[in-house]
A = this chain, B = another copy of it.
Amino acid sequence: MKFLRLLLLLILLPYGQLKAQSLEDYKLWLDYSPVQNTDLAADYLKITRSIYVDDADPILAKAKNELTTALPQLLGKKLVFTNQILPENSLVIALYENLPKELKEQTKAEIENSTDEGFLIKSIDLKGKSKIIISAKKEIGILYGVFRFLHLMQSHQDLNAISIADSPKIDIRMLNHWDNLDRTVERGYAGFSLWNWQKLPDYIDERYIDYARANASIGINATALTNVNANALVLTPMYLEKVEALANVFRNYGIKVYLTARFSAPIEIGNLKTADPLDREVRKWWKDKAKEIYARIPDFGGFLVKANSEGQPGPQNYGRNHVDGANMMAEALKPYGGNVIWRAFVYSEHDDTDRAKQAYDEFLPYDGKFMDNVLVQVKNGPIDFQPREPFHPMFGALEKTPLVMEFQITQEYLGFSTHLVFLPKLFEEVLDSDTYRKGKGSTVAKVIDGSLYGNTLTGMAGVSNIGNDLNWTGHPFAQANWYGFGRLAWDPYLSSDNIAEEWIRATYSNDENFIQPVKKMMLTSREAVVNYMSPLGLHHIFDTGHHYGPGPWVDNLGRPDWNPVYYHKADSLGIGFDRTPTGSNATEQYADEVAKMFNDTDKIPERDLLWFHHLPWDYTLNNGETLWNGMALQYQEGVDQVEEMIRTWDSMKSFLTESQYNEVAMLLKIQLKEAKWWRDACLLYFQKFSDRPLPAGVEKPTQTLEHFKSLKFPFAPGIRPSWD
């Protein structure tokens, strides 16, 4: 045994060296470092002494592949597989239907309770021998189970008496890539699109496989490859052949491909004169298109559609409505089991209603009118992925329509890929919000997982933060947001605290002295960005187009609701958007209990204050400060929090390779610089209205307001391409 340990150490030495290179970041949370704790390693060696894996199917073969990749790295040994299930097996991985009777008996209850995607990992005793069984109803359950099993080893969990039965709580767990056919990515800050359309279908980049592995490891089972601001060309045979090649890769990891469907495609690529959803030829065109797609991709997921929103074509161009449009597509996809995911992110240039109210107003009347393979996808808040928004009033309001939660993982409004912001904290806040639609406890999570109204089809979508950067997400910690989104789509009741810990263990270290401070840093990071960008319910005060940096002064854009001044409404009297009954009355779209809370400055959480109220500069906050002073101090607190993050990271140096330390240290330095920019620019601007001095404790701005207003960023990344 001692010799084995020595061997282990020797074998594993070179990994340490490679760790020094940025390539390590490529491996995401699937980086299987050797288990250094020798007692634990001995346990794990025992558990993996003799393995049986059912691999009679492509998905099962991938599961086996994960074992043969990970275990030698974790344990430094070659694996012994048996061809059939034998009494000597210490680890048995097989579909439930293929288990021998005595193993079935010990797993039956859990398997029966699991869904088609669920799995069981259970330590059992058979004839005095202990073994671990990983089983499931279906192949994909086995793959998920294997990934979980490896994660448990990777995070040094005791597996001796393990019993985990887990099934996803949401059906469609999906990434939305806003990727264009020229490989630019709208709101992408991690390089460019992974999809190399030029080399597809014949060249399958290994990265497609690693993308699928990463997704499957956290249970993501769907991906929309293309931008919601869609190009119809992706529906032509030349591109469908390429999509098919990707689908062939992803299928073996349980991932279905969706495409964004441009509503005007029948005109643009179908030579029709109209895209009217009630036109016979148009309807036939979509049916033929669906048939063509399914001939290539039998498990095609369906269409994701942005229609009549921000200039995209839609049914309203022909005097029809969203139901007409969505159901037309749903009818075409229905015979093949495909879905339409129809986005509710709509607001009209011809409607001067508070933009926050428009989606609800437009969609509420349609509840119950969509076909059963239509889901309506709703952004987490009523405006647009701000650092903080109250939950979208559509959640809980529509009863018969399955609502897909749309989170934005890419940090369009949260510092691009240079700010460390742990988003599961934001996602958790939204999911835990109580809609009160069926009384107390009617949380958004319950809307999304279908339990509140008994919806049979459910979904959660995350706008991807993935690009072709070596480390996938631009910021190493942004990997945690991809990870965390996947985990919450699997189980929207998980805590952001647990997710952070899982990710830290899988990515960096199992040492508590690293885990605890870094977890704390992650968990406070979201509040930090709110503080230094838009505290107290401020929102959408970003510079135009690229949304990089502050632009609260912008007032010259074509539509009122494109201008920051529309949202903060700062004037000499005060600041904030009155959405109570004395204002836009957006609060009426919430359940009474919620509306009452939001309407009442005594009851509303202060974090949402200026979202719903226009208040005087000397309004008194809970902490006794005036609104002006409190706001200024909160901007300062955001900056202070980033400084604290830097101190935390600096104190972690001993756990990190030089490059692991450096890359995050450099990014935190940028974050601090930009946090100060936000603080200074916003306070200088708002000070013009408040006409009050900065309170003690707030650092003096280093530049003038004119300087901040003069900054131009013509090549900031992520802007919508010019051909759109």
Instruction: List the interface of chain A (C-beta within 8 A of B).
Output: 7, 10-15, 17-18, 21-23, 26, 72-73, 181-183, 189, 191-192, 197-199, 202-207, 233, 416-418, 468-470, 659, 663, 666-667, 669-670, 673, 714-717, 722-723
Are A659 and B206 in touch, CB under 8 angstroms? yes
Contact of A14 with B12 at beta-carbon distance under 8 Å, contacts A23-B23, A198-B416, A206-B22 already known: yes
**Which residues of chain B are within 8 angstroms of A716 by Cβ–Cβ distance?**
198
In the complex this chain forms, how many copies of it are found? 2
Are A198 and B717 in touch, CB under 8 angstroms? yes
Smallest Cβ-Cβ distance to A659: which chain B residue: B206
**Which residues of chain B are within 8 angstroms of A7 by Cβ–Cβ distance?**
10
Are A204 and B666 in touch, CB under 8 angstroms? yes
Contact of A23 with B26 at beta-carbon distance under 8 Å, contacts A199-B670, A666-B203 already known: yes
Lowest 10 A-B CB distances belong to which pairs?
A: A22-B206, A181-B715, A202-B670, A203-B666, A182-B715, A722-B722, A192-B192, A10-B10, A23-B23, A198-B717
Are B468 and A191 in touch, CB under 8 angstroms? yes
Q: Could you say which of B197, B416, B663 contacts A206, with CB atoms under 8 Å apart?
A: B663
Give the complex CA separation of A189 and B203 in angstroms. Answer: 14
**Which residues of chain B are within 8 angstroms of A715 by Cβ–Cβ distance?**
181-183, 197-198, 233
Give A356 Cβ to nearest chain B Cβ, in Å.
Answer: 30
**Which residues of chain B are within 8 angstroms of A233 by Cβ–Cβ distance?**
714-715
Give the complex CA separation of A405 and B549 in angstroms. Answer: 44
Given A14-B14, A22-B207; 18 other pairs, CB 8 A cutoff: A11-B13, A11-B14, A14-B73, A21-B206, A23-B26, A26-B470, A181-B714, A181-B715, A183-B192, A198-B715, A198-B716, A198-B717, A199-B417, A202-B666, A202-B673, A233-B714, A470-B470, A722-B723
Give A643 Cβ to nearest chain B Cβ, in Å.
Answer: 16
**Which residues of chain B are within 8 angstroms of A23 by Cβ–Cβ distance?**
23, 26
**Which residues of chain B are within 8 angstroms of A12 by Cβ–Cβ distance?**
14
> Among the interface residues A15, A17, A23, A669, which one has the most CB atoms of the partner chain B within 10 A?
A23
Give the complex CA separation of A717 and B200 in angstroms. Answer: 13
Give the complex CA separation of A191 and B182 in angstroms. Answer: 11
**Which residues of chain B are within 8 angstroms of A182 by Cβ–Cβ distance?**
715
Are B669 and A202 in touch, CB under 8 angstroms? yes
**Which residues of chain B are within 8 angstroms of A468 by Cβ–Cβ distance?**
191-192, 468-470
A-B contact list, 10 entries, CB within 8 Å: A11-B11, A14-B72, A17-B73, A22-B207, A23-B23, A199-B670, A202-B673, A468-B468, A722-B722, A722-B723
Give the complex CA separation of A659 and B72 in angstroms. Answer: 19
Give the complex CA separation of A18 and B181 in angstroms. Answer: 32
**Which residues of chain B are within 8 angstroms of A666 by Cβ–Cβ distance?**
202-204
Q: Could you say which of B10, B14, B192, B714 contacts A191, with CB atoms under 8 Å apart?
A: B192
Are A14 and B17 in touch, CB under 8 angstroms? no
**Which residues of chain B are within 8 angstroms of A418 by Cβ–Cβ distance?**
198-199, 203
Give A475 Cβ to nearest chain B Cβ, in Å.
Answer: 10
**Which residues of chain B are within 8 angstroms of A669 by Cβ–Cβ distance?**
202
Give the complex CA separation of A418 and B198 in angstroms. Answer: 9
Give A417 Cβ to nearest chain B Cβ, in Å.
Answer: 8
Give the complex CA separation of A204 and B7 in angstroms. Answer: 37
**Which residues of chain B are within 8 angstroms of A73 by Cβ–Cβ distance?**
14, 17
Give the complex CA separation of A714 and B72 in angstroms. Answer: 46
Give the complex CA separation of A720 and B460 in angstroms. Answer: 38
Give the complex CA separation of A14 and B7 in angstroms. Answer: 12
Give A254 Cβ to nearest chain B Cβ, in Å.
Answer: 22
Give the complex CA separation of A673 and B201 in angstroms. Answer: 12
**Which residues of chain B are within 8 angstroms of A181 by Cβ–Cβ distance?**
714-715
Are B17 and A72 in touch, CB under 8 angstroms? yes
Give the complex CA separation of A723 and B715 in angstroms. Answer: 11
Give A474 Cβ to nearest chain B Cβ, in Å.
Answer: 8
Smallest Cβ-Cβ distance to A546: which chain B residue: B198
Give A357 Cβ to nearest chain B Cβ, in Å.
Answer: 35
Give A224 Cβ to nearest chain B Cβ, in Å.
Answer: 18
Are A203 and B670 in touch, CB under 8 angstroms? yes
Give the complex CA separation of A417 and B17 in angstroms. Answer: 32
Smallest Cβ-Cβ distance to A469: which chain B residue: B468
Give the complex CA separation of A666 and B18 in angstroms. Answer: 28
Give A23 Cβ to nearest chain B Cβ, in Å.
Answer: 5
Give the complex CA separation of A209 and B172 in angstroms. Answer: 42
Smallest Cβ-Cβ distance to A716: which chain B residue: B198
**Which residues of chain B are within 8 angstroms of A10 by Cβ–Cβ distance?**
7, 10-11
Contact of A203 with B667 at beta-carbon distance under 8 Å, contacts A10-B10, A468-B468 already known: yes
Give A277 Cβ to nearest chain B Cβ, in Å.
Answer: 27
Smallest Cβ-Cβ distance to A23: which chain B residue: B23
Give the complex CA separation of A11 and B202 in angstroms. Answer: 37
Give the complex CA separation of A154 and B673 in angstroms. Answer: 44
> Among the interface residues A7, A72, A198, A468, which one has the most CB atoms of the partner chain B within 10 A?
A198
Give the complex CA separation of A410 and B204 in angstroms. Answer: 21
**Which residues of chain B are within 8 angstroms of A416 by Cβ–Cβ distance?**
198
Give the complex CA separation of A670 and B242 in angstroms. Answer: 13
Smallest Cβ-Cβ distance to A236: which chain B residue: B712
Give the complex CA separation of A669 and B714 in angstroms. Answer: 41
> Among the interface residues A10, A468, A716, A722, which one has the most CB atoms of the partner chain B within 10 A?
A10
Give the complex CA separation of A313 and B50 in angstroms. Answer: 72
Give the complex CA separation of A183 and B717 in angstroms. Answer: 9
Give A659 Cβ to nearest chain B Cβ, in Å.
Answer: 6
**Which residues of chain B are within 8 angstroms of A22 by Cβ–Cβ distance?**
205-207
Give A69 Cβ to nearest chain B Cβ, in Å.
Answer: 8
Give A668 Cβ to nearest chain B Cβ, in Å.
Answer: 10
**Which residues of chain B are within 8 angstroms of A723 by Cβ–Cβ distance?**
722
**Which residues of chain B are within 8 angstroms of A202 by Cβ–Cβ distance?**
666, 669-670, 673
Give the complex CA separation of A17 and B717 in angstroms. Answer: 37
Give the complex CA separation of A191 and B196 in angstroms. Answer: 8
Give the complex CA separation of A205 and B204 in angstroms. Answer: 27
Smallest Cβ-Cβ distance to A198: which chain B residue: B717
Give the complex CA separation of A659 and B13 in angstroms. Answer: 24
Smallest Cβ-Cβ distance to A181: which chain B residue: B715
Give the complex CA separation of A418 and B18 in angstroms. Answer: 30
Give the complex CA separation of A207 and B418 in angstroms. Answer: 17
Q: Could you say which of B207, B417, B663, B717 contacts A470, with CB atoms under 8 Å apart?
A: B207
Give the complex CA separation of A11 and B12 in angstroms. Answer: 7
Give the complex CA separation of A513 and B212 in angstroms. Answer: 36
